[in-house]
Chain A
Amino acid sequence: MRLHAASTLALAALLAPARAIFEDDAYHIDFHHALIGLPKRGINFQKPYAASKASLLYAVSHEGAIGAINPRDGELVWRQIASSGLNATGLLRTGEDQDTVVSALGNHVAAWSAADGRIVWETSVDGATVEDLELLEQEDGITNSDAKDVLTLLSDQGLKRLDGKTGREKWTFQDTSGDTPLQISTSPTTVYYIALHTQLLGGAKLRVTSLSPITGKKIDQYTLSSEGEIQAPEHVLFAGANTAAPLLAWTDKSNKVLKINIIGTKGVSTFNAPTKDAVEKIVLHAPSRVNSLVHFLVEYHTATAHSAEVFHVDLKKGAISKAYSLPELKGQGAFTTTSSDANVYFTRITTEEVIVVSSVSHGILGRWPVKRISTLAGAYPIHGASEVVMKGGSASAVRSAVLFSNGQWVLIRNGEIAWSRPEFLSRSVSAVWAGLPEEEALAHELEVEGHQDVLTAYIHRVNRHIRDLKHFPTWVKNIPNRVLGSLVGKASDSLENIQNDNFGFHKFVVLATAAGQLAALDVGSQGKQIWHVDLAQLAPETVFEAPTLKAYRGYIEIKDSASQKSLYINSTTGGLLSSGDIKTQLSIEPKGQTLISFDLVDGDLKGFLGADISTQPIWSFTPPNGEKITGYTARPTKDPVASIGRVLGDRRVLYKYLNPNLVLVTAVLESTRTASFYLLDSASGQLLHAISHEGVDVSRPMPSTISENWLSYSVVIDSHSDASSRGYQLVVAELFESPLPDDRGPLRASSNSSTVQPSAASGDVTKPFVMSQTYQIPELISHMTVTQTKQGITSRELLVTCPDSNSIIGIPRHVIDPRRPIGRDPTSQEQSEGLTKYMPFIPFDPKWHLNHKYEVAGVKEVITSESGLESTSLVLAHGFDVFGTRVAPSFAFDVLGKGFNKIQMLLTVAALFVGVLFAAPLVGRKQINGMWTMPS
């Protein structure tokens, strides 16, 4: 009897300490989308060092990350994320024949090794942001072959020249005029500093100051009368192009006139937009090389079409003339500039084709139709970069790295999509698990059967089986493939196939970004994208700020704080469903229970009868001493419990306090640096337990989680605290019905209870017995959650996100068991429970890291789900990177490992069979002989 299911739990817990990611599982069961975010304009193909044969793609993203991508397969080579956090302003400059790239993220200027992203030098300016960054290509007409010096334009500290090798400051030009600094531009001989001089009457003049690159002294200054057009810095389209003739272009508010000035001259050329329709956007593309022809392209976008014009600059006359125009095409497209020696090529990328033209004439040098793929449906190119291979006067090959409007960063190689990076996922705000459609359908059918009487249910089942027979021929046909695949094929091959999902590892996760992009990934097959929709296209009238998702059987509901209406999306195809098509279900179906909902209303947690919060609250919780509620964590709706008690070493039972209505409220008081945690029963609003911590750094995250009968949270005790232990602390508390073993507390063995009125006497409350322990941990935790399995038999694991080391760590439950004996060695009975002596410090074992070699950056949330196997839980982390894996906290006890040699097993069986074939006649003969000879 001791070998009971309850005790297998303890057995599983004993096995757990050696748990880790197995080497052969790494990179197979998990996937990682290492993202850099939506790249800004100025994606660049550049050789990482002068002698390199291949080039890398360098980009800086709107999220403040810089990265180098291998253009061959789209893999990330290296990336650096702003230390000030995501969403910093970012600038990136790559120089030709340079082995470093220079970036400015926020106020932090750094040079990185172009090949591997190691830091070369860094400098930061306090209290200012870097407005512009340029490399000083030439000095007095001589190209500097060493590390090129860096010019930085700071928001209020003027212009600085930094040494390209060390990052030390060479000179500073202080601008005291109070103008808005805008751009830096360099010509071979001069540095130009462009600022906006705001007029009193509105509008702004462009002031161009020329500086000596050697001393930083002012040479000349002039203003351009642009007050008619320029109202804000956004109206300046372009400044720079480190060519022989740097350009300054601006436009008016309605984008009707384009004004271009060759920096250094005072003449302004004016051109009118070529289309009659309202131009929405004008983009100017100029080559960035010093020795390139001074040709540039201006791109005009209207709401429905786009066109471009190519201009030539006559350096001697200082005049700009229009050379030719590219015809207007329906839909949106992007242009890229490629310079090869002195020649300049423009590549036009539309949703249909890729066209290469030379800057000299409008003759088409190459044209490739673009093969459509599903992930780019409805999206159009925004901007990109191209590399063109010329052969005999025509373009023989072209590859373009293009950002599409739906956030996919795609490389189009001669019209074929070579790879696509789902960079839009870096802005995901909500994620939810959605089951496979077949599973959902089956679950629905079984539910139907469950509600019918025996006979109709039986007929229903027979009918269902007859209907299933149509899949039988294909199933039979697939058997040889499946058998062969499982014997000799790589395990990943069979995993790729969703149809053969015997273990339930294939689960869709649907991610929503802030802008309303929705994507479904299959966690079981390396995060493959199943579908991708843009809600802005499906439902143009709805505005999205921070959509939240909820999964139902077969569909997904999208709610947004900005709009009251919900959208429904088919979870299999991503198609929009009208609310009439679906049977709306409640996510929580109270069976004979009173439904109570609670929410934060005006800083207080209030409970309401039913789902309607307009009624009078039935309870309200206000934390004492003016503390402010910062958040709450409720026990998840799906939290199966295998055993309602904990079996002690002497085979007695400590009964778990299992209350589905537990909620842990976090409240802080900033003035006294206090953080309090209140455990409430959310049905009655009764306070069950309260813990308070002094000297807490309340600006740090205080994540918490509840599962089963235990809760966990983490706080940071700051260095000013009087407490004897400071730093990162992890608190774990376990709730029992009674401190005494074999006792079910005041409610005794009654099978039902009400928390509002647990016993006949009113105002009574059944409080749990709480055991808690605090541990010191080496790192800050920003988010925590618990693994989930189907039955809850497998021991749980606390999954914590450590933003400082970009990792996700699974802490086994037995390590943070509050029943660990303190100050003494465990007795033999405690040892048999798997308890070890309490140690105040938990070092994060490298084996606990789920992400092994991956660096999972910017994780905001980790979600877990059960798989088809009891041993295994699916995990997905999202926020910036997307990372998915599977964990088996008590080992994969219900599935054969990869090391299991099926062929050897079959050979053994075959050998035994052959042995039997030989031995059978021998034995038979011996038996017959034995019958015929006398025993004598």
Chain B
Amino acid sequence: MAAQPPPPPQWVLDLNSAPPSRPKNATYADPPGYTATSTSKQRSQSSKTPARQAPTPDEMDTLKMKKAWELAIAPAKQLPMNAIGMYMTGNTLQIFSIFMVFTLFKTPVLAVASIQRVFAPFETPGTSSRLLAVKAVYVLMNMLMLGLGIWKVNQMGLLPTTRSDWLAWEGERTWSERAVPREWL
């Protein structure tokens, strides 16, 4: 059996019951931050004051474009930071530098792969054409990031760019003559 809930505390009652309306002739001002409950009349009056105008689709588009540009440039902002990091880790093969290089490759690729999702919020009929340039810049920035990764990998000597890397695929010459000392025969 559940007992009767106790009577609500005083502060609840105070809160629920509206305070007595301010006397009209009151000379003191309302405390700061207090808005008196407007009467229906007052309410009708306030609704008449002009509300902030809803932005036009054009404005919206401009805003969205601004935001989109910011997003597109963002990878470039990380670039100097990453470059310093890569430079500092040196060219030796270590677990940290390998992880860093790995993220350096992973991030741009993933970013480019999810490019539609990233820019979907800014996609409107008005912006779709202008977004192409933004996307291109975004891809370019990510490519810069990838380029940094490739530079780093090259510095580490992991790119097969020199002759020695392909040496194993080069064969020994076959000679059309074979000469041996006679006692070996």
Contact = CB atoms under 8 A, between A and B. Distances in A.
B185 interface: yes
Given A1-B159, A742-B163, A755-B175, A632 B184 contact: no
Contacts of B170: 644-645, 749
Given A596-B177, A611-B182, A651-B163, 13 more contacts: A1-B159, A1-B160, A2-B165, A4-B168, A548-B183, A593-B174, A593-B178, A598-B179, A598-B181, A653-B163, A683-B177, A684-B177, A749-B170
B38 interface: no
Contact of A747 (B158, B171, B173): B173
A683 B178 contact: yes
9 contacts: A7-B164, A590-B178, A595-B177, A597-B182, A608-B182, A653-B163, A653-B167, A658-B172, A682-B179
Given A751-B173, A752-B174, A651 B179 contact: no
Contact of A651 (B164, B172, B178, B180): B164
A652 B178 contact: no
Contacts of A548: 183
A368 B174 CA distance: 67
Given A611-B182, A632-B181, A652-B163, A2 B158 contact: yes
Interface string A739-775: 0011000010111111110000000000000000000
A587 B163 contact: no
B158, B163, B164 — most chain A CB neighbours (10 Å)? B164
B178 A596 contact: yes
Contact of B175 (A7, A586, A650, A659): A659
Nearest to B170: A644
A613 B182 contact: yes
Nearest to B181: A634
B176 interface: yes
A391 B171 CA distance: 79
Q: Ordered nearest first, which 9 A-B pairs have the shortest CB separation?
A: A683-B177, A682-B179, A596-B179, A599-B182, A651-B162, A754-B176, A2-B157, A1-B160, A593-B178
A593 B175 contact: yes
B183 A593 contact: no
Contact of B173 (A607, A653, A753): A753
Nearest to A662: B179
A176 interface: no
A588 B157 contact: no
Nearest to B158: A1
Contacts of B160: 1
Contacts of B162: 650-653
Contacts of B167: 4, 6, 643-645, 647, 653
B21 to A, nearest CB: 46
A641 interface: yes
A593 B179 CA distance: 9
A751 B171 CA distance: 7
A594 B178 contact: yes
A771 to B, nearest CB: 19
A216 interface: no
A658 B163 contact: no
B174 to A, nearest CB: 5
A911 to B, nearest CB: 28
A594 B176 contact: yes
Contacts of B172: 641, 644, 658
Contacts of A643: 167-168
B175 A753 contact: yes
A5 interface: yes
Nearest to A586: B185
A615 interface: no
B177 A594 contact: yes
A750 B164 contact: no
A548 B176 CA distance: 29
Contacts of A647: 164, 167
A661 B184 contact: no
A504 interface: no
Interface string A637-676: 1000101110110111100001111010000000000000
Contacts of A588: 178, 180, 184-185
Contacts of A611: 182, 185
A637 B180 contact: yes
A5 B168 contact: yes
Contacts of A2: 157-158, 165
B139 to A, nearest CB: 28
B176 to A, nearest CB: 4
Nearest to A642: B168
A645 B179 contact: no
Interface in A576-627: 586-588, 590, 592-599, 607-608, 611, 613
A752 B178 contact: no
B184 to A, nearest CB: 6
A754 B179 CA distance: 12
A548 to B, nearest CB: 7
Nearest to A747: B173
A25 to B, nearest CB: 33
Contact of B177 (A4, A661, A750, A751): A661
Contact of B165 (A607, A608, A651): A651
Contacts of A644: 167, 170-172
Contact of A750 (B168, B173, B179, B181): B173
A645 B174 contact: no
B97 to A, nearest CB: 14
A632 B182 CA distance: 12
Contact of A751 (B174, B178, B182): B174
Given A6-B167, A651-B165, A597 B179 contact: yes
A598 B184 CA distance: 10
Contacts of B181: 597-599, 632, 634, 663
B141 to A, nearest CB: 28
